[in-house]
């Protein structure tokens, strides 16, 4: 009999080892173990409970536009994997923005799992923990540009009202490029007193647009949900 599904994952063993190390601290170990790990587990489960309670409310509003239970059963393995990844993110990241992205992904799946690119979905869900609100604002900003237009860092800085550091925004643009959500090209090269300057341009990719659709754009039309 194969009990592989019941085995602890590496992360579980790691946390058990940490918990055991804390418990081994003389005199205070037991109290510290209870204080930290008891609170940690309670917060984790509360976050997951809140996530699914909120999702339940959203599904109730739009259930007429969602798929059948039979189709859900056909894709139970893929959905189960999605849920496991969602739970890991929700446990560790308390931000409402991340939960909203995961809710939207869930609604996309529940509307039509047969139309989901599951390989792409796995990649998208792996991106969610790696980005922040500013990344999302960058994606939304460049999405509004004509597809033939590119943004330079100076344009990005101005879009944030010059309130964010130029090099911070450059780093985010590079991160989005590395993730495949942005693409970049180089323009003219000029030599100035403080060094060589290469004009760099960025724009959102088709993958970036798909990522926004999956995580940020509700698959349910507002007029449809409002009529039920």
83-138 per-position pLDDT tens digit: 989 988 988 887 888 999 999 999 999 999 999 999 999 999 999 999 999 999 99
Residue extents of the structural domains in the chain: 9-130, 133-211
> Per DSSP, what are the bridge partners of residue 200?
186
Q: Which residues contact 152 (CB under 8 A, 6 or more apart)?
A: 199, 200, 201, 202
Which pLDDT value is given to residue 41? 72
pLDDT at 226 over 50: no
Token pair for 73: 């059963």
Pairwise pLDDT comparison (191 vs 50), residue with the higher score: 50
Which pLDDT value is given to residue 1? 44
- Give the three-class secondary structure for 151: strand
Fold of 133-211: Arc Repressor Mutant, subunit A (1.10.10)
Could you tell me the pTM of the whole model?
Answer: 0.78
Residue 212 CB neighbours (<10 A): 19
Average pLDDT over residues 172-196: 85
The CA–CA distances, whole Å, from 62 to 40, 51, 68 equal 34, 17, 13
Average pLDDT over residues 191-206: 80
Which pLDDT value is given to residue 227? 47
The CA–CA distances, whole Å, from 142 to 32, 150, 204 equal 48, 8, 6
């Amino acid at each position: 009999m194969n009990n592989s599904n019941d085995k602890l994952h590496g992360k579980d063993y790691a946390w058990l080892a940490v918990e055991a190390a804390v418990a081994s601290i003389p005199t205070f170990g037991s109290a510290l173990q209870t204080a930290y790990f008891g609170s940690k587990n309670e917060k984790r489960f509360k976050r997951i409970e809140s996530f699914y309670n909120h999702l339940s409310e959203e599904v109730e509003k739009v259930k007429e536009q969602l798929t059948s239970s039979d189709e859900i059963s056909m894709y139970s393995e893929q959905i189960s994997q999605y849920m496991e990844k969602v739970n890991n993110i929700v446990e560790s990241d308390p931000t409402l923005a991340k939960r909203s992205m995961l809710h939207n992904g869930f609604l996309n799946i529940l509307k039509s799992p047969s139309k989901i690119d599951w390989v792409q979905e796995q990649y998208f869900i792996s991106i969610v923990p790696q980005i922040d609100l500013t990344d999302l604002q960058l994606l939304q900003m460049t999405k509004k540009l004509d597809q033939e237009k590119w943004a330079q860092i100076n344009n990005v800085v101005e879009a944030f009202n010059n309130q964010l550091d130029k090099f911070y925004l450059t780093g985010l643009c590079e991160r989005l490029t590395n993730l495949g959500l942005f693409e970049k090209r180089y323009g003219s090269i000029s030599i100035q007193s403080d060094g060589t300057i290469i004009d760099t341009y960025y724009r959102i990719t088709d993958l970036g647009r798909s990522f926004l659709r999956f995580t940020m754009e509700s698959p349910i039309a507002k007029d449809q949900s409002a009529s039920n």
